[in-house]
């Protein structure tokens, strides 16, 4: 998922029973004012709206994370932060934005945001920046962004034998060319394995006999 898609997730977007994430929205920021800076809108592209199947590892992690969040809500009580959506309209009354605004009373409908700080504070796509920086610095990884994990995922899942079209769908790309040109890394080991795989499947008795003959001729010379 794109970074904005991840941090736009609500718990109702995640079907933990069937292992499906319904990607419908993305968050983005604007210059901050008294009501905050985070807005929620549609995905980057039409094809960005998609359903993503998730495995047991992530399902278990999300279940545990959700339980922990509920415990934190009870722990913080009235000090826990909740948010709602505020419609921003232009002069004609048309809704042009939806801002994520902190609740000032209990009458507002609460957003079931997945990724917040322990006390419920929502900081959008900023939340992974510090821990991600610490982790990749300790691992000695240079110039790595949270967003770059999309490319790593695309390359690894393609190497499992998944079709390029399926990888494009998972990433929310309309055209496979986008996936190929910007998200798939060509690794030296992959290229070597591709050649060896082709070689092993196309070796015949005739080819072997030619090779052996040439070796023998060489030795004779």
Domain-wise residue ranges, the chain: 1-124, 128-185, 188-220
Q: Are strands 20-23 and 95-102 parallel, antiparallel or unpaired?
A: unpaired
DSSP line for 89-116: E-TTS-EEEEEEEE-SSTTSPPP-BSS-
Give the CA distances from residue 104 to residues 77, 79, 110, 196, in Å, rounded to whole numbers and listed in that order: 15, 12, 11, 64
Q: Considering the chain, what is the average pLDDT of its residues?
A: 81
Residue 18 CB burial class (10 angstroms; 0-12, 13-18, ≥19): exposed
pLDDT in tens, 162-209: 777 777 777 777 777 666 665 565 545 555 565 565 566 666 666 666
Q: State which residues of the chain have pLDDT below 50.
A: 187, 214-218, 220-221
Cβ atoms of 39 and 27 closer than 8 Å = yes
Cβ atoms of 211 and 82 closer than 8 Å = no
Taking Cα atoms as reference points, which of 62, 56, 60, 55 lies closest to residue 10?
62
Query: What pLDDT is attached to residue 141?
Result: 84
C-alpha 4/C-alpha 12 separation (Å) is 17
């Amino acid at each position: 998922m794109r970074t904005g898609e991840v941090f736009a997730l609500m718990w109702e977007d995640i079907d933990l029973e069937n292992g499906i994430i319904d990607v419908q929205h993305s968050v983005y920021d604007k210059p901050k004012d008294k009501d905050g800076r985070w807005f929620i809108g549609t995905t980057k592209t039409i094809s960005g709206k998609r359903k993503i199947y998730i495995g047991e590892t992530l399902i278990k992690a999300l279940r545990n994370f959700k339980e922990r969040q509920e415990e934190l809500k009870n722990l913080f009580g009235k000090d826990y932060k909740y948010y709602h959506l505020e419609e921003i309209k232009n002069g004609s009354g048309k809704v042009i934005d939806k801002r994520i605004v902190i609740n000032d009373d209990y009458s507002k409908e609460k957003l079931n945001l997945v990724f917040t700080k322990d006390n419920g504070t929502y900081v959008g796509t900023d939340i992974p920046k510090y821990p991600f920086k610490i982790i990749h610095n300790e691992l000695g990884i240079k110039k790595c962004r949270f967003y770059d994990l999309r490319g790593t995922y695309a390359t690894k899942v393609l190497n499992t034998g998944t079709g390029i079209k399926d990888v494009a769908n998972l990433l929310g790309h309309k055209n496979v060319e986008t996936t190929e040109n910007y998200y798939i890394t060509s690794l030296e080991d992959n290229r070597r394995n591709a050649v060896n795989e082709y070689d092993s499947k196309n070796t015949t008795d005739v080819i072997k006999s030619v090779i052996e003959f040439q070796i023998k001729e060489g030795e004779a010379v």
